Structure 1
Amino acid sequence: MDKLTVLYDVGGINGLCIIECRCFEDRRENLYETYNRQELIKKGLVAKFVQDNEAYSRKGVLRGFGVNTNVPQAKLIRVLSGKIFDVVIDLRPNSKTFMNSFSINLSASNKKQLYIPEGFGHAYLALEDSKVLFKVTAHFVPGDEIGFSWNSKAFNVNWPLSANEIIFSDKDRENPEFDIAMVM
């Protein structure tokens, strides 16, 4: 049996993947192998991750939308505790699914991971107090991220919490409405 299962092109979006881990159980413990580069390469995911980041968010915190432009990052998102509503938008101008969005609940209990290719807008909303691990393929470059409003009309995301329940950083609150010129 495979250690990892990869579901490709989820939501019909080329390159977007859900990774599910197999649990190894015995009377002592449950063990999940959450990342195995060799297994992922065998399955066609060759991203080379260079940095791990952890974010701790209280219930109601919304982070994003953001996309890195000059130094793009692919990401592998995993929830270590809690539950998030994760949203991605294909902002690759030459993609057949340009401007398409996909959302998923990721949680510590469902153990699903989301692989996001370079060139995607990304945001998530903490549905519970959450700890989120991001594996990224490029180091952060200050000033390289473009941010746009969480409720931009161009994407029509159906967020599971109302605006008055959401907690924003000043940066995310002030993000402008999405304009296609931002990514062209």
Structure 2
Amino acid sequence: MKATPLAIPDVILFEPRVFGDDRGFFFESFNQRVFENAVGRSVDFVQDNHSRSAHGVLRGLHYQVQHAQGKLVRVVEGEVFDVAVDLRRSSSTFGQWVGAHLSARNKHQIWIPEGFAHGFVVLSEHAEFLYKTTDFYAPAHERCLAWNDPQVAIDWPAVTQPLLSEKDRVGKLLADAETFA
């Protein structure tokens, strides 16, 4: 498995080695040793999540101010554009974002460490999205950064009027959001 730091080096793209033939394919989707070597620390995942969304659905940008979650994300059906925004005030990349296309076809995964907001928009007819988290869901501590914050200026592909949940419609601007030290 190839691990490549993105423009914000703490966010890492994982590209598995896929073995395929006329019968189908096989790949190792997770290896604790390879993963921890790439991220440079021990990581324990405590929860797996699975969502299905229709074309144009934008989920995010979510984070938890306490019980912060690191996430290892991937797509098993369809395609999304996945985004992480650095919310660590002490970071040289505070307020910056990185994004990548994740799809069932490319089988890529992204590690998004604690201290980041995370979201994605569905580019295919629908997408099934899987992710592991390093802490449990804590709704009292969940926050949402506005997907269209002009200060963050995410270059979402082909999104003019995304389908949003009520929670995502009222996301806060970075200037008003709770962030991390």
TM-score when scaled to structure 1? Answer: 0.90
User: Take 1:140 and 1:67, find their aligned partners in 2: how far apart are those partners?
Assistant: 10
The one of 61, 66, 74 aligned to 1:65:
61
- Kindly, what percent of the aligned residue pairs are identical? 35
| 1:27-85 deviations in Å (ceiling 9; x for gaps) | 64310110011222344353211111001000000001111111100000100000001
Is it true that 1:74 corresponds to 2:77 in the alignment?
no
The one of 12, 17, 26 aligned to 1:22:
17
Q: CA deviation at 1:25?
A: 3.4
User: Take 2:106 and 2:22, find their aligned partners in 1: how far apart are those partners?
Assistant: 21
Q: CA 1:132–1:181 in 2, change beyond 3 Å: closer, same or farther? A: closer
Equivalences for residues 1-184 of structure 1 within 5 A: 4-8=1-5, 10-11=6-7, 13-25=8-20, 28-43=23-38, 44=40, 46-128=42-124, 129-164=126-161, 166-179=162-175, 182-183=178-179
User: Take 1:85 and 1:76, find their aligned partners in 2: how far apart are those partners?
Assistant: 15
Does the Cα contact within 8 Å between 2:95 and 2:174 map onto a contact in 1?
no
Name the SS for the 2:26 alignment partner: strand
Does the Cα contact within 8 Å between 1:14 and 1:97 map onto a contact in 2?
no
Q: CA 1:26–1:68 in 2, change beyond 3 Å: closer, same or farther? A: same
Q: CA 1:91–1:176 in 2, change beyond 3 Å: closer, same or farther? A: closer
Moved over 6 A (4+): none
Name the SS for the 2:174 alignment partner: coil
Which runs of 5 or more structure 2 residues have no equivalent in the other structure?
Answer: none
Does the Cα contact within 8 Å between 2:65 and 2:178 map onto a contact in 1?
no
Aligned residues: 178
Which runs of 5 or more structure 1 residues have no equivalent in the other structure?
Answer: none
Q: CA 1:142–1:34 in 2, change beyond 3 Å: closer, same or farther? A: same
1:141 partner amino acid: A
User: Take 1:45 and 1:61, find their aligned partners in 2: how far apart are those partners?
Assistant: 33
Computed over aligned residues only, the root mean square deviation of the Cα atoms, in angstroms, reads: 1.6
Q: CA 1:169–1:23 in 2, change beyond 3 Å: closer, same or farther? A: same
